[in-house]
Structure 1
Amino acid sequence: METKFIELAKQRRSIYALGKNVASSQDELVELIKASIKQGPSAFNNQTTRAIILFDDSHDKLWDIVAGSLRKVVKDDAAFAKTQAKINGFKAAYGTILYFTETKTVREFEENFPLYADNFQDWSEQSQGNAQYAVWTSLAENGLGANLQHYNPLIDDAVREAFNVPASWRLRAQMDFGSIESPADTKTYMDDDERFRVFK
């Protein structure tokens, strides 16, 4: 059997030591990210995932927003110093992808297909996972690392204002990406007997 995809999947790891030593142009990266999201499956092909791709000052601005938002809720200086160090690591990356769900489309499908109405929120989350995994793996194929963060909804309002986000777009995740400055730790796996069942 062909196992090229499995080999690519093994390359897709949470990389936290990221840098800006990226050979691909920003335009090339934008096209790669857009193509990866477009090819991801979605229920009824409703294409509910949206993305904003940030580079340079816009990338920095996003992580400044995160730091500022967390400073308001983390009152202890020592605790915030650790938080700030973590955010500085994300800021050291080359760029960030903001993932959103178009809630207007979800509502339209709930109304148009009432028999399945209770499922469209869940299905939109599955579409998010598909899109994020596709982008992450495509970046890995091109020698880039990434990790996925979830500072929403804490940062939602500030992000909406900073990047002119439509009101119907709901922020779901932030993926910073860049050159791999240090590899991920060894990945461990639970026992197959606890995870899988096969009936023949």
Structure 2
Amino acid sequence: MSFLDKLKSRRSIYALGRNIATDNSTIESIIKEAVRNSPSSFNSQSSRAVILFNGEHVAFWEIVENTLRAIVPADAFAAIEAKINSFKAGHGTVLFFEDQNVVKGLQEKFAAYADNFPVWSEQASGIAQHAVWLALADHDIGASLQHYNPIIDEQTLARWNLPANWKLRAQMPFGSIEAPAGEKAFMEDEDRFRVFA
């Protein structure tokens, strides 16, 4: 399968399950290799990943659920609860962070680029997230990318005793693909691209 075919196979999968043939240690290795080999500006390697399985995975989504339950009106919570339950039904979750100490260190060392390092950090995180997503899809593991930060940041750092300088950027629940993704619509090329030769 070509890279573009693999790219097309990566879709947001919301119907997740725990029917995965790949063992946890292999999944861990896949995620680590994807993050490790993702490029970053100045080879800063600012991306951090926390991999949650089993009860730890469920505990994370319970933090999300309880946090939202406290701020969302009761009559609007049913749809949110169903969505969170679909993530909780998965096999695991990857939490993506960016190490702010790395960003600050680069800002101090290369002052001329100081304003750019937070932007480049976000780009590095996006690349790492995409790499993990593709790597999981390559093993027939479905995933989606979620963003419940920053309202869950403090509880997440406390629950897993993570450094305060790790800034949560995204959450990726993953698992077996229990239902395929829907059709994906694309905007017209002329609205998106410009080519000059």
Q: TM-score, normalised by structure 2?
A: 0.98
User: What amino acid does structure 2 have at the position aligned with 1:68?
Assistant: N
Give me the CA root mean square deviation. Answer: 0.8
Structure 1 unaligned runs (5+)? Answer: none
Q: Which residue of 1 aligns with 2:28?
A: 30
Matches within 5 A, 1:81-100: 81-100=78-97
Match of 1:182 among 173, 179, 183: 179
Cα deviation, 1:80-104, whole Å, max 9, x if unaligned, reads 1221111101100100000000000
Corresponding pairs, count: 197
Q: Which moved more, 1:76-85 or 1:58-67?
A: 76-85
Paired residue for 1:159? 156
Distance, in Å, in 2 between the alignment partners of 1:87 and 1:187 is 22
Which residue number corresponds to residue 107 of structure 2?
110
1:150 paired to 2:127? no
Segments of 5+ residues of structure 2 without an aligned counterpart are none
Deviations for 1:2-35, whole angstroms, at most 9, x for unmatched residues?
x700000001000000100000010000000000
Give the SS at the match of 1:148. Answer: coil
Does 2:131 align with 1:128? no
CA positional deviation for 1:165: 0.9
Give, as a single letter, the amino acid of the residue that structure 2 aligns with 1:11: S
How many Å apart are 1:78 and its aligned residue?
2.2
1:112-138 deviation digits (Å, cap 9, x = unpaired): 001111100000000011000000001
Distance 2:89 2:28 in 1: 19
Q: SS at the partner of 2:21?
A: coil
Q: What's the TM-score, normalizing by structure 1?
A: 0.97
Matched residues, percent identical?
50
Residues 139-192 of structure 1, C-alpha deviation per residue, up to 9 Å, x if partnerless? 111101000110000001110111111111000010000000000011111111
2:105 is paired with a residue of what secondary structure? helix
